[in-house]
């Protein structure tokens, strides 16, 4: 595996690597090196090779330089290892899409290439920099995206909406499989009837959000909505995560007069998140609309649904498509009054109604449980290993 990311902290990569190990594969991960991490170590049977590069937000030039250096460093590292290992499959995790070409030496020596599309680069650029779909850089990223998908023998992505967009731009639908960012069910146990009842009674007016504190995730709307409904309902909000908007959100809470009701907990280990969620009365995912976010399926939403809790969420197309119309109290994306109204509705629900809402979320999650996604993932990798022609909409065909 190659990734412009960190291991084992990248949950998707770790889960897939663990699935491969459990299925009997030998796995090498080539990734970035974070503070305090070793250049080489073994993590739960996975051999990890880290290049001396980190990752941080910055200007467009900074991103280009960072991606370019990572391409060279990761490509060189895996290329050296390839001569001795002769990999059967090389899996490349995006972003950037063009990192897939770092697998070229392994492909020349017979490896099949799997491209795991975590994000969608053209829409990500639109979202981040506020440009339109015909911007020259967006068009360039679309070209790179399709070239990368064409180079790979098969691809994965995280939502039906992303897959549809790749296909609209020319990708072969039979070479792209869906493997969602499901909850890690070793850490987020699936809800039981007992929890669904106990959980909604424990702290009905305590709201929780876990994830990056970035402008487009709508946490500012949640704080403003808290000020709107605070005179009627004594909600508290627990924020778990870090990000560039953290200080601005603290200032906003002070400005709105709700700082005593909003608590910033910073980053917490994945192992503790399930307990955090289970102690809350409801989860809130107030994501703003946008070119990328309209297509994405939030992993935090799936984690909340997995453990079975009442959810208030933006009515983004991808959320409703994957979880259905009754899995959450939906609100118009980016609409303060709609969010305040949803919180009022939530507070007014009785215990049975809250339990029914939580049960609906849990039931909707069943389709996306990792045990099902794992089967799809391992099937794709095995088809590549066997040398079969990959037709992900049908059966694999063995060459004559």
Higher-confidence residue of 400 and 145: namely 145
| CA nearest to 235, candidates 280, 293, 181 | 280
What pLDDT score was predicted for residue 14? Answer: 93
CATH superfamily of 193-368: Glycogen Phosphorylase B; (3.40.50.2000)
| CA nearest to 221, candidates 186, 262, 189, 278 | 262
Q: What band does 399 get if pLDDT is binned at 50, 70 and 90?
A: very low
Q: Where are the domains of the chain?
A: 2-182+370-386, 193-368
Tokens, residue 289? 């609309």
Tokens, residue 259? 């700082």
Domains 2-182+370-386 and 193-368 share a fold: yes
* Rounded CA separation 221/87 (Å): 48
- pLDDT at residue 396 tops 50: no
**CA distances (Å), 211 to each of 120, 203, 299, 300, 364, in order?**
19, 21, 9, 7, 21
| SS3 assignment, position 390 | coil
239 - beta bridge partners?
A: 209, 264
What pLDDT score was predicted for residue 62? Answer: 82
What pLDDT score was predicted for residue 400? Answer: 33
- pLDDT at residue 180 tops 70: yes
List Cβ neighbours of 235 (8 Å cut-off, separation of 6 or more).
205, 206, 207, 226, 229, 261, 343, 347
Task: Provide mean pLDDT across the span 285-309.
Answer: 91
Q: What band does 198 get if pLDDT is binned at 50, 70 and 90?
A: low
- pLDDT at residue 393 tops 80: no
Tokens, residue 42? 């073994």
Overall pTM > 0.85: yes
CATH superfamily of 2-182+370-386: Glycogen Phosphorylase B; (3.40.50.2000)
Q: What band does 60 get if pLDDT is binned at 50, 70 and 90?
A: confident
């Amino acid at each position: 595996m190659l990734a412009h990311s960190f291991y084992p902290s990248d949950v998707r990569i770790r889960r897939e690597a663990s699935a491969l190990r459990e299925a009997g594969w030998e796995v090498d991960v080539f990734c970035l090196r974070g503070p305090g991490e070793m250049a080489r170590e073994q993590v739960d049977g996975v051999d990890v090779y880290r290049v001396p590069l980190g990752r941080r937000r910055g200007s467009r030039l900074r991103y280009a330089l960072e991606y370019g250096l990572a391409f060279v460093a990761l490509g060189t590292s895996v290329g050296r290892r390839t001569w001795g290992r002769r990999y059967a499959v090389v899996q490349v995790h995006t972003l950037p899409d063009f990192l897939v070409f770092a697998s070229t030496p392994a492909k020349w020596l017979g490896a099949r290439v799997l491209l795991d599309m975590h994000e969608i680069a053209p829409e990500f650029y639109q979202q981040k920099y506020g440009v339109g779909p015909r911007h020259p850089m967006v068009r360039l990223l679309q070209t790179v995206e399709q070239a990368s998908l064409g180079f790979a023998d098969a691809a994965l992505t995280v939502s039906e909406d992303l897959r549809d967009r790749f296909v609209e731009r020319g990708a072969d639908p039979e070479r792209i499989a869906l493997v969602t960012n499901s909850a890690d069910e070793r850490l987020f146990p699936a809800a039981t009837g007992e929890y669904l009842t106990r959980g909604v009674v424990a702290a009905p007016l305590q709201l929780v959000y876990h994830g990056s504190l970035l402008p487009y995730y709508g946490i500012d709307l949640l704080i403003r909505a808290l000020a709107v409904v605070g005179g009627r309902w004594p909600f508290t909000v627990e924020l778990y995560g870090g990000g560039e908007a953290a200080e601005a959100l603290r200032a906003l809470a002070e400005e709105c007069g709700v700082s005593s009701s909003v608590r910033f907990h910073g980053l917490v280990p994945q192992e503790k998140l399930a307990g955090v969620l289970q102690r809350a009365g409801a989860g809130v995912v107030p994501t703003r609309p946008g070119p990328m976010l309209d297509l994405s399926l939030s992993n935090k939403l799936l984690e909340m649904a997995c453990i079975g809790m009442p959810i208030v969420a933006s009515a983004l197309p991808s959320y409703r498509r994957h979880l259905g119309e009754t899995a959450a109290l939906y609100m118009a994306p980016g609409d303060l009054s709609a969010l305040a109204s949803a919180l009022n509705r939530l507070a007014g629900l009785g215990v049975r109604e809250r339990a029914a809402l939580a049960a609906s979320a849990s039931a909707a999650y069943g389709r996306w449980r990792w045990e099902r996604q794992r089967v799809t993932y391992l099937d794709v990798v095995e088809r590549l290993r066997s040398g079969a022609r990959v037709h992900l909409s049908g059966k694999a065909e063995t060459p004559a």
